[in-house]
Structure 1
Amino acid sequence: MQIEYVLYDADGNQVGTALANTNHLKAGGSWKFEALGTVSPDQVVSWERSDVSGF
Structure 2
Amino acid sequence: MSRRQTWATLAVILLCGGILVLFTDVELNLVRWVNCGPLSTGAEERSEVCR
After TM superposition, the score normalised by the length of structure 2 is 0.16
Higher radius of gyration, 1 or 2? 2
After TM superposition, the score normalised by the length of structure 1 is 0.16
**Bigger RCO (CA 8 Å, 6+ sep):** 1
Greater percentage in strand: 1
Greater percentage in helix: 2
